Structure 1
Amino acid sequence: MSFQTAAEVLGAEGAMARCIEGFQPRAQQQEMAAAVEQAMRDEQTLVCEAGTGTGKTFAYLVPALLSGQTVIISTGTKNLQDQLFQKDLPLVRKALEMPLQTALLKGRSNYLCLYRLQVTEQEGRLASRELVHQLRRVREWAGRTDSGDITEFMDIGEDSPLWPMVTSTVDNCLGAECPSFNDCHVMRARREAAGADVVVINHHLLLADMVLREDGFGELLPTANAYIIDEAHQLPEIATHFFGQTLSGRQLFELAKDALAEFHSSAADSAALSTAADKLDYAVRDFRLALGNDSSQRQPWARLRAESKVAEQLQGLENALQALQQQLEPVAERSKGLENCLERCETQLGRLALFNAEETPDQVYWVDIYSRSFVLCCTPLNVAEPFQKRMQEQRAAWVFTSATLAVNGRFDHYADQLGLTEVRTALWDSPFDFRSHALLYAPPDMPPPNSPSYVEAVMEAAVPVLEASRGRAFLLFTSHRALKQAAALLQGRCDYPLLVQGDYPRNELLRRFREQGNAVLLGTGSFWEGVDVRGEALSCVIIDKLPFAAPDDPVLQARADALRARGGNPFMELQVPRAVIALKQGVGRLIRDIDDRGVMVLCDPRLIDKPYGQVFLNSLPPMLRTRKLELVQRFFAAQAKSDIGETVAPDALPG
């Protein structure tokens, strides 16, 4: 091709403009592409924020493909991974006319396991006719799929209980001794990745590879010249889970289930094995009950461990694992499946011992509690050291990018979390005209967020805004409790369709929201990011509170204590930056396209009343601001951009 630089490819006369109808060159996109190009050429670490509409995907894909290097691109979610590989990457490759080899690689639980499919069929212990019907359809699909990627099979929902039965995990995979190893979809995907120029993965797989290499057990990913981390704001939190030890109820349940299946197929003469597997299943259930009735919460392990009923059931869990181990040892040699169960049992006993031992000061111990399960977690207080160790193992360029990384225009908080030093940083504002197309409204006279009447006050502020916007709104909450209370308060007061998180799956709620065109959707965390609704269907976003993490979160507490011990300010250096990033994600739902217009409502009075509120305001797009409801009403009624500016400017908030 005739153009040499990434910026030229993305210019008005470049290959992208020739290939994509309606392509609009953007200075921010070209500048970001040039920065990525330089980072890759000079093996630098680049941390950059690109506001909504910059087109950051093309800004890193073009230099990645032009570089001729082996590049690994990691995204935040599997949905983004699929979009990048199936849509964006082929488009750029076509425009550049470059015959590069690309590969998509996911974690093993995303691929059909032919061995476990066969075992599930032979076991015949499905709980319903629907599952039997689903199993038959999976068997039919297994005969025609090349990739084995379960997202390719749309006939069964991703939350079906069948999928764990026909996919593998790190624990139950039989590896090279699996009877279906030669046809394994996971191994085929890894072989394709090993020979590819560009490999698209997700953060979980990136970190799993780091941990595997650190432990000396091999690798999941090919060696690369450059790593591009998209949606990089998610990486530190995901790393918290990977650079530690965990033991989940699901792992224990699956061990009991698999041991029982192996008893039926290979050790039917060992009735004690069947009994031990059943007892482990009961012990896991009893331990979960001892943790309490509240679900979807995080608790410090030391606090729970001190409770007599938890300590008693913890001992019962250990006894059940030891009993299963004793029954597996004499029969393990009969099959690879039994041998695998014994290895898992020993591993899980070792992890359980970690939570029976005295806690060490450089680790954080906690429990994530769910309605039917739990995860015991132990992770380093600081993930920067293990992350840096992996980064430095080989010479490579690293690019960390997202629409939300900077706090008050700086990247110190993000760089410190991952231990990034000697980094280049860059920030490109959104090319969208926020000042003309968006209005920030902070309702007056709001009570403190900890007031018992706060949710009622939020709804009193929201109802007239919803009337002015004619529905077409997201109401985003920082807790499920507030969401449920708000949904009850809105019943009968809102003339527009109400869609409440939990009533339907997330994708179904979004489908209905887009189709109805005037709906009001109430959501919590999963709707704060990764949701893209363009056009008039979403013209208003209302946020109840600044999204500070729960102050009793044991991980946050431990890190705050460590920071305080070093003379730092945990609130300003830890809690505020985290909340700013989360708020920017929520605000980012409003304007998704060049013609979008809307009102952002931030109800939390701390935004105005507290000095740190200015940090939040400084980190948001440059919207005009008001505290007057009548200006919000006139905004929605306005037809011309000039009307908006003349209406709002006299009442602009500070900053």
Structure 2
Amino acid sequence: MDATDSHSHVLFDPEGPLAKAIEGFSPRAAQLEMSAAVSRAMQDRIPLVVEAGTGTGKTFAYLAPALAAGKKVVVSTGSRNLQEQLYHRDLPTLVQALGYAHPVALLKGRSNYLCIERLGRLNDAVPGMSSAALADLQTVKRFAPLTTSGDVGDIPGLSERSELLPLITSTNDNCAGRDCAHYQECYLVKARNKAMEAQVVVVNHHLFFADMAVRDTGFGQLIPDAEVCILDEAHQLPEIAGQYFGQSQSGRQFSELSRDMRLAQKTEAKDMAQITKAADQLERCAQDFRLAFGLDSGRGQLRPALGRSVIAQALSRLNDSLSFTHEVLKLALGRGEQLDQCFERLIGLRTQLEALTRVEENGYSFWYDCSRLHVTLHKTPLSVAERFSAELAREEVSWIFTSATLAVGDSFEHFCNDLGLSECRTLQLDSPFDYPRQSRLCVPRYLPETSGAGRGRMLAHSLLETLEKVPGGTFFLCTSYQVMREVAEVLRAQLDRSVLMQGEDNKVRLLEQFSQDGRAVLVATGSFWEGIDVRGRALQCVVIDKLPFAAPDDPLLSARLEDCRRKGEDGFARVQLPKAIITLKQGVGRLIRDVEDKGVLVITDARLVNRAYGADFIASLPAMPRTRSLRALNEFLLNLE
């Protein structure tokens, strides 16, 4: 046993610091193994990739050795929820247990902090503000004098979708930086300074890559230089990295610029009415550009879209309007700080729009995404491997990647190729749970076609009897909103339990309701497939409506498949299948969260049984006894009590 191994053994020893400080702590073999591997990676700086099944205790396995080593550590997680849990629950426990004396910090993205300047400029009646937003504004004004962190997530009763949020937080575009009168007391600046001085900083992947992108431009940095980078929920990295190594621009940026131009004209250039005229015209052209894409929300490839004359003409008018605005703002230069800032933003937006519509460039997917009000243009690299491997080559940094789902079968090739990890150590740790005793997997016979109309209703009817027999609660996870709504409609009419549906309240409150009820059915899509931890009786059944292959009209996917075709590779085997397997593993991971949990998994997709690739999915799932009979499943459910 070398020094690193013995060090981990001391931490996780039954008489060690963790056992003494944490009630009921007992070390697990997989946790010890992972902790030793993390210690070794911190010493020899060979990147470590660990798949740690549910229940291995991976958070402690990477945090404890990192704290004990006394190095400068950045921990990045997949979502704000996980970030909060790490910082407010796991980290304090370990800090206390190990007597850790260095400062630790939590850093979120810019849009999570109140902007004192913008809040101050918001009068009680902003034209066009809804009554809900006005009520939210009063809530925020009551909260503002009391907060020390300025974190908008702490404002009681403020919805995460409130239309007020973009008005009281800043963006890169509209932040005045050091020129702001409130720079000294700015919450974002304070949080960043605290992070710069901390020994352990907890961030999320979006911020981690935003920081990398900022460093590329040479404009300072948000996150301190670390000696150890630990990326949890690492299966999300290739996708999130792509967003930041690419570019995107939303129509909202044009309407925000127009709004700020009108405000600046009132205070800094009352005599220049043409500023307001230019602002109105710019906003109108941005709206016309959105309408040219049709009324529906949705996404698609930009190259063919720009080939349609209605869209090409709307883009040309938007560009003309930007030129006109440029001339007008140029005349106002030097009249005031806000106008000068508007001029700089305008130049940035023009350059960006040009880059995003140069669709003949190779190696990127050019696509658009329409919401009700705005269209967003995206330029995403087809592979982040080259850019990320440059990051991995940084001297003096140890990299640790971990998640419950990284491997396909027992191979890490897909993940390592995506991130350009040519040299690394891999470790696969199975979950300690006794799946043969604790669970069953059923792929029922006689299922409707995976893409037929009314499929959600048929599935809900065929599973009514089974859902009735579940003593606790059920997650019904769907791959489309259409199926989700159909399932919820049937269950609400036929099932004598409360049926909750994603989107009807915010995620945290829905989960609270679900857990407290104990017998509820929650019907949801993508965002409930991962990062959700419901233990015990409250969740005893997970239904997955079909294998989660990405939609064939996903513009990024179709660009990647096209790229594979050009290289003579099999796009299905290289891109679609591994991604779907990892997503399915995430969904399945919701079921058994604890040694005492018991439950059933129902996958209503016959392809799992009758297609050759079904075996690849099954090989990647835990060893659950399988059946095709709902009756056999119902018997297992009866014995759960």
- Which TM-score bucket, shorter chain as reference? over 0.9
How many Å apart are 1:129 and its aligned residue?
Answer: 4.6
Cα 1:118–1:4 change in 2 (3 A) is: farther
- Matched residue, 2:199: 197
- Matched residue, 2:469: 468
How many Å apart are 1:609 and its aligned residue?
Answer: 0.5
How many Å apart are 1:345 and its aligned residue?
Answer: 1.0
- Matched residue, 1:239: 241
For residue 127 of structure 1, give the secondary structure of its aligned residue in structure 2. coil
For residue 493 of structure 2, give the secondary structure of its aligned residue in structure 1. coil
Q: Deviations over 1:452-494 (max 9, x none)?
A: 4643442243222112215621111111111122223334222
Q: Aligned ranges for residues 209-228 of structure 1 at < 5 Å?
A: 209-228=211-230
How many Å apart are 1:286 and its aligned residue?
Answer: 1.9
Correspondent of 2:20 among 14, 18, 21: 18
- Matched residue, 1:50: 52
Distance 2:137 2:31 in 1: 47
Correspondent of 2:166 among 164, 167, 178: 164
For residue 401 of structure 1, give the secondary structure of its aligned residue in structure 2. strand
How many Å apart are 1:607 and its aligned residue?
Answer: 0.4
- Tell me, yes or no, if structure 1 residue 545 matches structure 2 residue 549: no
- Matched residue, 1:85: 87
How many Å apart are 1:501 and its aligned residue?
Answer: 1.8
- Matched residue, 2:273: 271
- Structure 1: which amino acid aligns with 2:243? H
Distance 1:311 1:512 in 2: 48
- Matched residue, 2:137: 135
Distance 2:19 2:462 in 1: 45
Give the alignment's Cα RMSD to 1 decimal: 1.9
Distance 2:230 2:238 in 1: 15
Cα 1:288–1:36 change in 2 (3 A) is: same
- Matched residue, 2:77: 75
- Matched residue, 1:347: 348
TM-score (norm 2): 0.96
Does the aligned pair in 2 maintain the 1:11–1:30 contact within 8 Å?
no
For residue 537 of structure 2, give the secondary structure of its aligned residue in structure 1. coil
Q: Percent identity?
A: 44
- Matched residue, 2:67: 65
For residue 162 of structure 2, give the secondary structure of its aligned residue in structure 1. coil
- Matched residue, 1:415: 416
- Structure 2: which amino acid aligns with 1:147? S
Correspondent of 1:256 among 251, 258, 271: 258
Distance 1:358 1:455 in 2: 38
How many Å apart are 1:504 and its aligned residue?
Answer: 2.4
How many Å apart are 1:405 and its aligned residue?
Answer: 0.8
For residue 367 of structure 1, give the secondary structure of its aligned residue in structure 2. strand
Distance 1:125 1:10 in 2: 60
Distance 2:30 2:216 in 1: 38
Distance 1:407 1:162 in 2: 43
- Matched residue, 1:292: 294
- Matched residue, 2:321: 320
For residue 54 of structure 1, give the secondary structure of its aligned residue in structure 2. coil
TM-score (norm 1): 0.94
- Matched residue, 1:107: 109
Does the aligned pair in 2 maintain the 1:123–1:261 contact within 8 Å?
no
Q: Deviations over 1:151-209 (max 9, x none)?
A: 22224222222221111111111111111111111111111111111111111111011
Cα 1:578–1:114 change in 2 (3 A) is: same
Q: Deviations over 1:336-386 (max 9, x none)?
A: 222221111111111212244342121110001222222100122211111
- Structure 2: which amino acid aligns with 1:325? H
Does the aligned pair in 1 maintain the 2:455–2:483 contact within 8 Å?
no
Distance 2:99 2:31 in 1: 21
- Structure 1: which amino acid aligns with 2:547? L
How many Å apart are 1:217 and its aligned residue?
Answer: 2.3
Does the aligned pair in 1 maintain the 2:471–2:540 contact within 8 Å?
no
- Matched residue, 2:557: 556
How many Å apart are 1:585 and its aligned residue?
Answer: 0.9
Does the aligned pair in 1 maintain the 2:461–2:490 contact within 8 Å?
no
How many Å apart are 1:35 and its aligned residue?
Answer: 0.8
Structure 1 stretch displaced more, 496-505 or 181-190: 496-505
Distance 1:537 1:54 in 2: 21
Distance 2:217 2:389 in 1: 15
Distance 1:333 1:306 in 2: 41
Distance 1:320 1:548 in 2: 41
Structure 1 stretch displaced more, 47-56 or 352-361: 352-361
- Structure 2: which amino acid aligns with 1:495? D
Distance 2:71 2:6 in 1: 15
Does the aligned pair in 1 maintain the 2:541–2:600 contact within 8 Å?
yes
- Matched residue, 2:624: 623
- Structure 1: which amino acid aligns with 2:91? L
- Structure 1: which amino acid aligns with 2:564? L
How many Å apart are 1:213 and its aligned residue?
Answer: 1.5
Cα 1:358–1:473 change in 2 (3 A) is: closer
- Structure 2: which amino acid aligns with 1:463? L
- Matched residue, 2:42: 40
Structure 1 stretch displaced more, 270-279 or 135-144: 135-144
Q: Aligned ranges for residues 239-638 of structure 1 at < 5 Å?
A: 239-295=241-297, 297-452=298-453, 454-470=455-471, 472-638=473-639
Does the aligned pair in 2 maintain the 1:7–1:31 contact within 8 Å?
no
Q: Deviations over 1:99-127 (max 9, x none)?
A: 01111111111111111112223985461
Distance 1:68 1:41 in 2: 12
For residue 408 of structure 1, give the secondary structure of its aligned residue in structure 2. coil
How many Å apart are 1:400 and its aligned residue?
Answer: 0.6
Q: Deviations over 1:213-255 (max 9, x none)?
A: 2222222211111100011111111111111111112222211
Distance 2:463 2:77 in 1: 35
Distance 2:56 2:407 in 1: 15
Cα 1:140–1:450 change in 2 (3 A) is: closer
Cα 1:374–1:162 change in 2 (3 A) is: same
Figure out how many residues of one structure are paired with residues of the other and give that number. 637
- Matched residue, 1:180: 182
Distance 1:140 1:520 in 2: 37
- Structure 1: which amino acid aligns with 2:378? C
- Matched residue, 1:652: none
For residue 35 of structure 2, give the secondary structure of its aligned residue in structure 1. helix
Q: Deviations over 1:572-592 (max 9, x none)?
A: 111010000110111111112
Which stretches in structure 1 are left out of the alignment for 5+ residues?
Answer: 641-655
- Matched residue, 2:33: 31
Cα 1:549–1:124 change in 2 (3 A) is: closer
For residue 331 of structure 2, give the secondary structure of its aligned residue in structure 1. coil
Distance 1:544 1:128 in 2: 38
Does the aligned pair in 2 maintain the 1:471–1:520 contact within 8 Å?
no
Distance 2:426 2:22 in 1: 30
Distance 2:510 2:198 in 1: 37
Does the aligned pair in 2 maintain the 1:243–1:383 contact within 8 Å?
yes
How many Å apart are 1:133 and its aligned residue?
Answer: 4.2
Which stretches in structure 2 are left out of the alignment for 5+ residues?
Answer: none
Cα 1:124–1:477 change in 2 (3 A) is: closer
- Matched residue, 1:8: 10
